[in-house]
Amino acid sequence: SKGNHRHFMEKEIHEQPEVISHTLANYLDFSKGRIRPGSAPVDFAKIDRIAASACGTAYYAGLVGKYWFERIARLPVDIDVASEFRYREMPLSKDSLALFVSQSGETADTLASLRYCKQQGLTIGTIVNVRESTMARESHTVFPTLAGPEVGVASTKAFTCQLSVLASLAVAAGKMRGTINEDEERQLVRELSEIPRYANQALRLEPQIEAISRDLSQVKHVLYLGRGTSYPLALEGALKLKEISYIHAEGYAAGELKHGPIALIDESMPVIVIAPYDHWFEKTVSNMQEVAARGGKIILITDEKGAAASTLNTMHTIVLPDTPEIIAPIIYALPIQMLAYYTAVFMGTDVDQPRNLAKSVTVE
């Protein structure tokens, strides 16, 4: 049931600190500051690369995972949307791990990609929320997300739980591959353990985000920009907004702005910039300057350090607490979900059952 929430989506957004905490506890031993032995039963030291695929929001989670695996474990990741992957006949190595991400475990294209990789003799690992799903049954290794049933068509808590698993696996892989030592493992595990606390702080921004959403519900087009791990978040923000509010939105890598989309910028199109104060921040700010110079209205989502460092005039600035870099994509997902949610509420759409969409896409 929805309890005292208006929509399942609202309820599921608010459940995140708790379900992320359950999910992390499956992979991390907080008291020892270690990856739980046996929680990632794949020999990452023997794997040459990861071939990943998924659809929609699960694909964006995988895209964030790519940054983590490559950075923390020096393990290259090829990732593609499953509808392309399944027909591409990509040359695959038997030493690769085929990794799939799915809330339902039933998405037709992702399942077909899984079966293709299995036929090619790869080890199949799946991050999945529904334990008794087809994908879970057909995988060699299941990495569960413990998000509980997700009812809203727009994925929220499944996404942040997928990210939590991907971050944990990247740390496990780094440990097995010797790219991080025990101190670094302990440090990363400690940082991951703080996600629920930061997520609770992010939820407190709800009244401000509701007010900003009132403005957003008046516009026709929205652009989302981000760099590094914030780039997939920009894609996710745009998907979330379009699927439940029906407002046209696009997500772009901030550096791609001048390769085309900058032509769209005027006073009528807000630009949502996702920019924690990380090692990409300065670059993103210079892209923001280009937007501001053309009269674009900026909604900046950043942290305290970022807000202090940016000298730009923004229409709104959403200030999250300063977080360790690895957990930023998980924390920044929350304001992005709330923006889409409240905008849709102002538009009066059917938030939990948006038009033309199904929770689980079991036909291609």
Query: What is the 3 state secondary structure string of 106-169?
Result: CCHHHHHHHHHHHHCCCEEEEEECCCCCHHHHHCCEEEECCCCCCCCCCCCHHHHHHHHHHHHH
CA distance 142 to 125: 6
- The answer to whether 150 contacts ligand M6R (rule: CB under 6 A) is no
Instruction: State the minimum distance, in angstroms, from the CB of residue 104 to ligand M6R.
Output: 3
* Total residues binding ligand M6R (CB under 6 A): 16
CA 161 to chain centre: 9
Segment near ligand M6R (CB under 6 A); pick from 42-50, 152-160, 223-231, 308-316: 152-160
Instruction: State the minimum distance, in angstroms, from the CB of residue 21 to ligand M6R.
Output: 21
- The answer to whether 57 contacts ligand M6R (rule: CB under 6 A) is yes
Instruction: State the minimum distance, in angstroms, from the CB of residue 149 to ligand M6R.
Output: 12
CA distance 221 to 320: 25
- The answer to whether 349 contacts ligand M6R (rule: CB under 6 A) is no
In 3-state terms, what secondary structure has residue 198?
helix
Residues 90-129 vs ligand M6R: string with x where CB under 6 A? ------------xxx--x--x-------------------
- The answer to whether 155 contacts ligand M6R (rule: CB under 6 A) is yes
Contact status, residue 128 vs residue 102, Cβ threshold 8 Å: yes
Sequence length of the chain is 364
- The answer to whether 16 contacts ligand M6R (rule: CB under 6 A) is no
* Closest C-alpha to 114, from 170, 58, 156, 52: 52
Contact status, residue 74 vs residue 184, Cβ threshold 8 Å: no
Nearer to ligand M6R, 253 or 361 (CB): 361
Nearer to ligand M6R, 124 or 154 (CB): 154
Q: Which residues are annotated as catalytic?
A: 359
Which residues lie closer than 8 Å to 151 by C-beta, 6 or more apart? 8, 12, 352, 359
- The answer to whether 243 contacts ligand M6R (rule: CB under 6 A) is yes
- The answer to whether 352 contacts ligand M6R (rule: CB under 6 A) is no
Interaction site with ligand M6R (CB under 6 A): 55-58, 102-104, 107, 110, 153-155, 239, 243, 360-361
